Amino acid sequence: MTPAASRRRATRNTLSADRIVDAALHLLDTTTAEELSMRTLAAELGVGTMTLYTYFRGKDEILQAARDRVLDSFHPPAVEGDWEEQVRACCTALYGLLVERPAVMRVLATGMHGDDEFADTATAALEFIVRQLRGAGLDRECTARGYVVLLQYTFGAALGRVRAAAHEPGEMPRLSPQAHPMIADLAPELIRVRSCGVDQYLFGLNLLLTGLRESAAAETRSEK
């Protein structure tokens, strides 16, 4: 055993399910879910690979626990304002959490939990957004559709941001001005907004909220 390996060796009786999840999140923040293995996780913890099976049945269960650890920690922020401001703050905070913890997005991107819709794990966000949309006057159908599109957009935007951060910023593919004149002409702006991060996310979120506000207003008019 090398000196470095000896220093990493876990102290006896200090391993726990929480420590394993902590280590998995640490590794996933800098690598992919596919690259994470029981062996690499055991090496990170300084234990034998089989020791991990005392706490988890396998890699998938650890990944699910890591995902749930972060998403379960989410609590919508307390802000002043109407339903629109409340939903904007909730979605923006969730987006920030996901971008700050690439591990979660990397687990979700694997699609290995197809029987467990990822948005359903964000129960605090779900309850909060549904309550706000219903309070705004949206009917049951519009509330369900509004919730789904808000969560899909938020998770999708965060995933795109995490993927972009993992690569060196590059230029857009060169397009023929003759074949794609409009896109080629707009290339400088397209390159700039691709790296805008939260500003670009808020641009899209505001468009969605504007549409939901108009839907709520239409519901109110139809009831009169």
User: Domain of 58: which CATH number?
Assistant: 1.10.10.60
Asked if residue 186 lies in contact with residue 64, where contact means CB atoms within 8 angstroms, the answer is no
Confidence bin at 2 (pLDDT 50/70/90) = very low
Shared domain for 214 and 135, answered yes or no, is yes
Confidence bin at 110 (pLDDT 50/70/90) = low
Q: For residue 14, what are its two tokens?
A: 């200090």
Shared domain for 82 and 176, answered yes or no, is yes
Confidence bin at 114 (pLDDT 50/70/90) = very low
Domain endpoint, select from 21, 49, 69: 69
Domain endpoint, select from 69, 87, 107: 69
Shared domain for 35 and 139, answered yes or no, is no
What span, in angstroms and rounded, lies between the C-alpha atoms of 198 and 99?
Answer: 10
Shared domain for 60 and 79, answered yes or no, is no
Confidence bin at 214 (pLDDT 50/70/90) = very high
Matching residue, tokens 């923006």: 92
Q: Please choose, from the candidates 92, 36, 98, the residue with its C-alpha nearest in 3D space to the C-alpha of residue 73.
A: 98
pLDDT above 50 for 1: no
pLDDT score recorded for residue 83: 95
| 218 against 119, higher pLDDT | 218
pLDDT score recorded for residue 95: 93
Shared domain for 104 and 204, answered yes or no, is yes
| 3-state SS class at 112 | coil
List C-alpha distances in Å: 74 to 101, 125, 142, 143, 165. Answer: 12, 8, 25, 21, 22
Q: pLDDT of 45-104, one tens digit each?
A: 999 999 999 999 999 899 888 888 888 888 899 899 999 999 999 999 999 988 888 877
Shared domain for 153 and 209, answered yes or no, is yes
Shared domain for 26 and 125, answered yes or no, is no
Shared domain for 172 and 128, answered yes or no, is yes
What span, in angstroms and rounded, lies between the C-alpha atoms of 85 and 224?
Answer: 26
Question: How many domains, the chain?
Answer: 2
pLDDT above 50 for 15: yes
| 3-state SS class at 126 | helix
Shared domain for 54 and 89, answered yes or no, is no
Burial of 12 (0-12, 13-18, 19+ CB in 10 A): exposed
The continuous run of DSSP H or E covering 212 comes out as helix 198-223
Shared domain for 186 and 217, answered yes or no, is yes
What span, in angstroms and rounded, lies between the C-alpha atoms of 28 and 203?
Answer: 29
Q: For residue 195, what are its two tokens?
A: 């790296």
What span, in angstroms and rounded, lies between the C-alpha atoms of 118 and 110?
Answer: 11
| 181 against 219, higher pLDDT | 181
| 8 against 99, higher pLDDT | 99
Asked if residue 129 lies in contact with residue 86, where contact means CB atoms within 8 angstroms, the answer is no
Shared domain for 79 and 58, answered yes or no, is no
Domain endpoint, select from 47, 69, 91: 69
| 39 against 160, higher pLDDT | 39
pLDDT above 60 for 3: no
pLDDT score recorded for residue 107: 77
Q: pLDDT of 156-202, one tens digit each?
A: 899 888 877 766 455 556 778 888 889 888 888 887 777 778 899 99
- Reported as half-sphere exposure (CB side, CA atoms, 13 A), residue 173 has a value of 3
* Residue range(s) defining the domain that contains residue 135: 74-223
Asked if residue 44 lies in contact with residue 27, where contact means CB atoms within 8 angstroms, the answer is yes
Shared domain for 35 and 118, answered yes or no, is no
What span, in angstroms and rounded, lies between the C-alpha atoms of 57 and 15?
Answer: 16
What is the mean pLDDT of the segment spanning 125-150?
92
Mean pLDDT of the chain: 83
pLDDT score recorded for residue 166: 65
Under DSSP, the state recorded for 174 is P
